[in-house]
Structure 1
Amino acid sequence: MTKLTIIQQNDTHGSLDLHHELFWQDNKPELRKTGGFPRIAKYVKDLKSQNENLLFLDGGDLFHGTLPLVASKGEAILPSLKKIGLDGWVPGNWDFAYGKEQLSSLVEALPFPTVACNVRDAKTNESFMKPFVIKELDGVKVGIIGLTYPYVDETMPESFSKGLAFSRGVDETRACVEELKGQVDLVVLLSHMGLPLDVELATFVDDIDIVLSGHSHDRVEEAITVNDTLIVQAGSSASFLGKLDITLEGGRIEDYRYELVPIDESLPVDEEMAGIIADIIEPYSNERGNIIGNTESILHRMTLNEAPMDQLITDAYLHAYDSDVAFSHGWRYGTPVPAGDITEYDLHTIIPTNPEVFTIEMTGERVRNALEKNLEMVFSRDPFKQKGGYILRSSGLFMSFKPYNPEGNRIQKLLVGGQEIDLKKKYKIAGAGKQLFKGAEADKTYHGVHAIDVIKQYLLEKGTFKADGEPRILST
């Protein structure tokens, strides 16, 4: 009988220090201080001192999400990663944000292995990362297969995937499992595909013992079992860790216990890591102290149809460009901002890509088709066609839809400016970045202004932001 503990983090998105996190309490959102690398480092270090049969693995989106990381193209976080005690990781879709060469440079600087079986060099057709690694512990060998987000080339800006080729990874995963048979006691899939895709994968790839899922920011509190495979995911923003204690008997999982661990203020801090994080953040003290507005609403991004954080963005776009409708991508990342002051640093957390703002003219029919396509990417019956984050965020629009309807037939009612959409009429749309309306670049007019400056100006003119409590995107 052998005991093994696996600690999982995923989708940390540059949330390096203690921050606000959203929980639901008494039927409404509540913020609590959670997270950060100093508490994670201490938690893992203490567990490793008690149990040498421990693996600490990261599920991706490690190098992007807050100002220090984006401004340094991921390099600012490296000192903390060299000390945090990780045993391996898989890149997420945002880890490709700085291009192929920069990701390679970041990977080379890490003291732990990078695994991904489903991304190849487009020129050589060779695997861009190691498909898997084998970890030898006391009395147990663990094979760790990496599976990165398969649709980087389809859903992210072109620069993310230039020089790389991505696949769904089903065949590659199956081949890795076959190769590991007889070599290891336990097969772990470290995935950044998202929970629906990971559950689907486990139904038709046999002999995966554990899937450590990432990408979809799910707080899985009880392990999901599919085809004798345990599937877990540990939220996001370094606010939680997943702790999986396994008992192995005769090369099989005999018993397990899973816990989603909130990294709250009750946990002690690793002082060395606290110093490292303070050094990483210190150059941005001006942005952290620069108050640029105020909010009466908690700004969060924790709801599927629409969210206050994104209403601030789209209201600012709509105000700046006198448009009929404004859209923003349905991102998942971005830690909440409490009611009160909004700093410049907060804005870089709300929209770290700081994309350039554009306007575009689109017929009502084209707007409707774009929304139907987005709904399919979010709600597709086939998990492998679920390529969106949340529903496109918008201002100036009302939409009711049926998520369970067939592709192209979900929208029930669509209003622009309170009026039924005219499919033949052209509407002025404001948005930002190449991730939004990808494929329509030729029709966009960019204005040489970036999102954060537009939001700053909006807050300067409005003074205080308050989210509209009336729902405008309804699932019916």
Structure 2
Amino acid sequence: MTKLTIIQQNDTHGSLELHHELFWKENQPELRKTGGFPRIARYIKDIKSQTDNVLFLDGGDLFHGTLPLVASKGEAILPALKKMGLDGWVPGNWDFAYGKEQLASLVKELPFPTIACNVKEENENQSFIKPYIIKELKGLKVGVIGLTYPYVDETMPASFSKGLVFSKGVEETRQCVDELKGNVDLIVLLSHMGLPLDVELAALVDGIDIILSGHSHDRIEEPITVNDTLVVQAGSSASFLGKLEITLESGKMEDYRYELVAIDESFPEDEEMSGIIADLLEPFSKERGNIVGRTESILHRMTLNEAPMDQLITDAYLNAYDSDLAFSHGWRYGTPVPAGDMTEYDLHTIIPTNPEMFTLEMTGERLMNALEKNLEMVFSRDPFKQKGGYILRSSGLFMSFKPYNPEGNRIQKLLVGGQEIDLKKKYKIAGAGKQLFKGAEADKTYHGVHAVDVIKQFLKEKGTFKADQEPKILST
């Protein structure tokens, strides 16, 4: 009998220190302090000192998400990662944000392996990153396959995927499983595809024992079992760790125990890591101390149709430009901001890409089609067609829709500025960045102004922001 403990983290998005996290209590959002690298580092050290056979694996979106990481193109976090005790990781879609060469440079600095079987060098048909690793432990061999987000080239700005080719990874995963079979006791897939895709993959590919899922920020409290494969995911923002304790008998998984661990304030900090994070944050003390406004509402992104954090963004866009509508991408990242004072650093956490503002004219028909396409990316019946984050965020729009209607037929009612949409009329839209309305890039007029400055100006004018409680995007 052999025992193995797998610790999973995923989608940390630069949440380096103790921060507010949202939990639901009696149908209302409640904030609690959680997370951060000092507590995680100590937890991992303690487990590894007390237990044989521990693997600590990261599911991606490690190098992007807060101001220190974005300003340094990921380099600021390297001293912390060198002391984290990780045994391997797979890049997420945001880890490609600084381009192929920068990711390769970051990977070279890491003391642990980087794996992904479904991203290749363009024109060379060779893996950009090694597809899998074999970890030799005490009386045990574990094969760990990496699978990154398959749609970086379709959903992210073009600079993310330049020089690289991505695939869904089903055949590549199957090939890796075939190569590992007979050589290892356990096969683990470390994935950044998202929970729906990972569950589907488990049904399509035999022989995977465990899928450590990432990308969709799901807090899985009980493993999902599909085709004899356990699928788990550990939330996001360094707020949680997944702890999977496995018992193997004669090279087969006989029993397991799983816990989603909320890293709250009761967990002790690692002093060395606390010092590293303090040094990392110090250059940004100005932004951390610069109060730019107040919010009466908890700002969060924990709801699918619309969310207060994004309403701040789109209200600010609509305020800045004489437009009919404002849109923002349906991102999942960004730790909650409590009611009270907001800092410039908070704004960079809300929208770390700080995209450039644009305006765009679009007919009602084209807008309707773009919204239907977005709904398909969120709600498609085929998990491999689910390519979005959440629903596009908006101000000036009312939409009711049926999420499980056929593609192109979900929208039931669409109002712009309180009036029924006119399919022939042209509407002026305010937005920001190349990720939003990717197909309309040629029609965008960029304004040389960036989102954070627009939101700062909005807060300066309004003083206090309060989210509208009346729903504008309804699933019926």
- Structures share a fold, TM > 0.5? yes
- 1:29-428 matches, within 5 Å, as 29-428=29-428
Instruction: Give yes or no for the alignment of 1:460 onto 2:460.
Output: yes
List per-residue Cα deviations over 1:119-156 (Å, max 9, x = no partner): 00003211000000000000110000000000000000
| One-letter amino acid of the counterpart of residue 56, structure 1 | F
Q: Distance in 2 between matches of 1:402 and 1:381?
A: 13
Deviating runs (4+, > 3 A) in structure 1?
A: none
Q: Which residue of 1 aligns with 2:11?
A: 11
TM-aligned CA deviation for residue 338 of structure 1: 0.3
Q: Distance in 1 between matches of 2:259 and 2:272?
A: 27
SS at match of 1:440: helix
How far, CA to CA, are the matches of 1:226 and 1:123 in structure 2?
Answer: 36
Identity of aligned pairs, percent?
Answer: 86
Q: Secondary structure at the match of 1:218?
A: coil
Aligned letter for 1:417?
A: G
CA distance, structure 2, for counterparts of residue 29 and residue 59 of structure 1: 26
1:439 shift after superposition: 1.8
Partner of 1:272: helix, strand, or coil?
Answer: helix
2:243 counterpart letter in structure 1: K
Report the counterpart of residue 446 of structure 2 in structure 1: 446
Deviations 1:207-257 (A, max 9, x none): 000000000000000000000000000000000000000000111110000
Partners of 2:92 and 2:449 in 1: CA distance? 28
Letter in 1 for 2:320: A
Shift of residue 308 of structure 1? Answer: 0.2
Output the amino acid matched with 1:367.
L
- CA shift for structure 1 position 322: 1.6
2-structure distance, mates of 1:337, 1:47? 32
How far apart in 1 are the matches of 2:428 and 2:238? Answer: 39
Query: For each residue in 1:391-422, what CA deviation from the matched residue of structure 2 results, as whole angstroms up to 9, or x when unmatched?
Result: 00000000000001000000000000000000
User: What is aligned with 1:437?
Assistant: 437
One-letter identity of the residue aligned with 1:11 = D
For residue 52 of structure 1, report the CA deviation from its aligned partner.
2.3
Long gaps (5+) in structure 2: none
Query: Match of 1:401, as an amino acid?
Result: F
CA–CA separation in structure 2 for the residues paired with 1:376 and 1:13: 26
Tell me which amino acid in the other structure corresponds to 1:450: H
Q: Distance in 1 between matches of 2:93 and 2:439?
A: 19
1: CA distance, partners of 2:155 / 2:56:
29
In structure 2, C-alpha distance between the alignment counterparts of 1:252 and 1:426, rounded to whole Å: 62
Counterpart amino acid of residue 49 in structure 1: S
Partners of 2:446 and 2:210 in 1: CA distance: 46
Query: For 1:158 and 1:183, how far apart are their aligned partners in 2?
Result: 39
Provide the C-alpha distance between the structure 2 equivalents of 1:8 and 1:71, rounded to a whole number of angstroms: 27
> What TM-score, normalized to structure 2?
1.00
RMSD value over aligned CA atoms?
0.4
In 2: Cα distance, 1:301 partner to 1:265 partner:
22
Aligned length: 476
Separation (CA, whole Å) in 2 of partners of 1:190 and 1:441: 34
Unpaired runs of 5+ in structure 1? none
CA distance in structure 2 between the partners assigned to 1:131 and 1:197 by the alignment:
19
The CA distance in 2 between the partners of 1:121 and 1:457, in whole Å, is 43
- What is the CA-CA distance between 1:356 and the residue it aligns to? 0.2
Give, as a single letter, the amino acid of the residue that structure 2 aligns with 1:245.
E
Distance in 2 (alpha carbons) for counterparts of 1:372 and 1:385? 13
Secondary structure of 1:31's counterpart equals strand
Q: Using the alignment, how far apart are the partners of 2:410 and 2:94 within structure 1?
A: 29
Letter in 1 for 2:331: W
Using the TM superposition, give the Cα deviation of residue 94 of structure 1 relative to its aligned residue in structure 2, in angstroms: 0.1
